[in-house]
Every structure is written in C-alpha cells, then in structure tokens.
Amino acid sequence: LYRPAERDDNENTKKGLLLTRPITLDEPFALKKLQDMRLYYSKFDGESKCFVVVYVSNDGTNWAPIRSLRKRSYKYYRFAIIADMKDMDALSGMVLRYEVERNNKLR
C-alpha cells in the first residue's frame, strides 16, 4: 500500500490571538492620538501573516474598534494581534508613536 507523504505539522501555519491589557500610554488622564504603529515579527518564508486590530475606550469598560489611527483621541487603547505563523516565526514587539491631545488640568 502506497501513501503519499503527509505534511509535517511544523510546516503548517497556526492561528493565534494575542489581546493586550488596557494601555494608558504613560498619562492615564490625558487623551492621546496614535500617529504611527509598527509591529515587529520575524518570518522565515512568505506564508506567515500578522494583523492588528486597535480597540479604544474613554471609560475603560466600553470598547470599540477603530478604522483610522489619526481621527480622534482616546484615553485607553487595546491591541488584538491575529497571527497566522509557523513554529519558527517570532513576534518581537510593537512600537507606538502618539501625541497627547488634552490633559484635564485647570489653567
């Protein structure tokens, strides 16, 4: 009986989800607007992919996804990273650049 060689599990991509905790970006009472976001991950071939969904909130309980980074400012951010990676790929980190819009100080 002849069986064709099956693909090893290490060669297939695996799906995963990484959800961060609520992030205040150094100033908990100020509104911040994201300007740039970069995700660092290493892939050894062209099949691996990572997608990022940004969730925002001003009260910390009601979350909504955003489509554009530069439209409005928010207090809290949460990032969902949807990964379709192989065993040898690695997610290193994320770099954010933001601007403080308003702070709640009386003048």
Span 85-96, average pLDDT: 87
- Distance (Å, whole) CA 90 – CA 8: 19
pLDDT band for position 21 (cuts 50, 70, 90): very high
Q: Given a cut of 70, is residue 105 above it in pLDDT?
A: no
- Is residue 85 exposed (0-12), middle (13-18) or buried (19+ Cβ within 10 Å)? buried
Span 68-92, average pLDDT: 87
- What backbone phi and psi angles, to 5 degrees, belong to 72? -130, 165
Task: Report pLDDT for 29.
Answer: 82
Task: Report pLDDT for 42.
Answer: 83
State the Cα angle at 39 between 68 and 95, rounded to 5°: 85
94-104 pLDDT, tens digit per residue, is 999 998 887 66
Task: Report pLDDT for 89.
Answer: 85
